[in-house]
Structures are given as structure tokens and as C-alpha cells.
Amino acid sequence: MFLVTGASGRTGGQVARQLLDRGHAVRAFVRHPDSAPDGAEVAVGDYAHPDTIAAALDDVQGVFLLWSTGHDRTAAEVVDILGRVDHVVYLSARGAEPSGENDDELGPILASHRRLERLLTASPTTASFVRGGGFASNTLGWASDIRSNGRVRAPFGGIPRALVHERDLAEVAVIALTQKPPTNQTYTITGPETLTGEEQVRAIGAAIGRDLQLESLDRRAAIAQLIQQGADDVAATSMVMHWQAMVNDPEQPTPDFTRTHRSSGDSVHPMGPRPRR
């Protein structure tokens, strides 16, 4: 039995479905029972109430952990509860790894991921970290503007990133969850190639048969856009500073996705890394 948190979302939902397809029993930890994937047991709960996590762990061997920074005050208590299981696979983020930067320099999102990694490393359970790069699904945020006027508004003309599909993240998480015996591993998962903002928009336009335009936002406009979308000032400023640094230091692909499949004996599906064209 595997407990999958965030099972109603894109990555957690993929983890649950892939585990079920492999014949494993899955318990979905969700806020609303009707949002759980078909075929999974349902555990209704919330990180704000750690006792709901404890109640969901009966007969559970491993946990896929997807965390929200809004619940950091209960992080230590939740991780302490997860010490009861054999293995935890945590969906972290590229940049959360220990470095010369202190947590305050990372910004709230990466600092939260680093804190969870530290707590899990110190816990009695073994833990693996799947550090995702830029998520391809985040470009769905452009959909409304594309539909209305065919113009994408992106910070600094679009950040060069090796965008990763959530299915790839889920495949690595499933391999880490089901390996026997479980071991501490760290995987940095990206897509197969770095694409500029212009290349991303051009690819979307080619897929939908439209000529799309890219409008570059400066730092102030980018922060304002994120705040309008619901981010607070601190998080918005932190994200934009992180993106601005990547303009001159683009996100590079890693070989971890392919290496993980080869070591596990699984075949790589068509969404996996491909040669650059």
C-alpha cells in the first residue's frame, strides 16, 4: 500500500495512476473524496491537521509527499508522523539542494523545500528527493491570453528552461517508491532540452496552428503580474529574481531521468529525453 498526497493534482495524480497500473494498492490523501483517482482508496485530510496524515498510514509501506508552503508550521509534526513508514519520496525542487546560500537568500518556496529535505533526512524513515526543474504544465498559465489575443506576456522574454512533464516526474517517483529495499536517492529531473521563451511559444503556436507573439515583461511588470495572479509580494519578488538570474544562466538538462530508467530496468517512454534536433 502506498499513500499518495496531492493525488488530485497533476503530478500526484500521475503517481497514483502509475502505481495502480503496476498493480499496487494506492491510498489517495485528498481534501475532497470525489477528487481521488479511480481505483484508489480515499483518505480525506489536510496538512493543517497532522492527525489526518497519521490516520491515513495504516498498512502503508511508502509515501509520495507533495508539500505546500502554506503549511510549513506543521512540517516538523507531519515528518515525525511519516517516520512510521519504510520510505518517503518527496517532490522537491531544483535549487533546494544544500549550497553556500542560506535559506533566507533562497526565497520562500525553495527555502520551504530545503527545510522539508532536512527534516526528512533527519527522520527515521529513508527518503528520496525528486527535484523537479521547470514544470511544462506552468505554461498553461498562458492559455487565456493565447485564446483572447494570441499574445504571451512572459518575464524577460521567457526564461530558457529544460521544462519537464509531470508524467516524467511521476515515473521517477514511482521507481523510487517501489525499489526494494528502498534507499536514499536524489534525482534532478528535467526535460530533454533547454528552450527559450520564444521557442516555447513557437512550439505552442505550431501545435495549435496559430501565429503567436511573445511580449517581454521587465522585472517590475513581472512582479505585478504574479501578484495579480495571487502571489504575495515576497514570493513574487523571489520568483522574479530567480528567473532573472536564469536569463544568463539557463536551466540545463540532466541525465537523471534516463539513468533512473536504465538502473531500474524500465523502458523509457516517448515523453522521456530525446536527442536535440
Instruction: Cell numbers for 44, please give them.
Output: 480525506
- Which cell numbers hold the place of 145? 491570453
pLDDT in tens, 47-97: 999 999 999 999 999 999 999 876 788 999 999 999 999 999 999 999 888
Report all structural domains of the chain as residue ranges with CATH numbers, in order of start: 2-132+163-190+253-264 (3.40.50.720)
The number of angstroms, rounded, from the C-alpha of 222 to the middle of its chain's C-alpha atoms is: 22
Tens-digit pLDDT profile for residues 111-150: 889 999 999 999 999 999 999 989 999 899 899 999 999 9
Taking only Cα atoms into account, the Rg of the chain, rounded to an integer number of angstroms, comes to 19
How confident is the model over 213-258, as pLDDT tens digits? 999 999 999 999 999 988 888 888 888 988 888 888 899 999 999 8
- The answer to whether the CB of 227 falls within 8 A of the CB of 236 is yes
pTM over 0.85: yes
Q: How many angstroms from the chain centroid is the CA of residue 184? A: 18
- Residue 204 and residue 181 in contact, taking contact as beta carbons nearer than 8 Å: no
Looking at this protein, which amino acid is placed at residue 110?
Answer: L
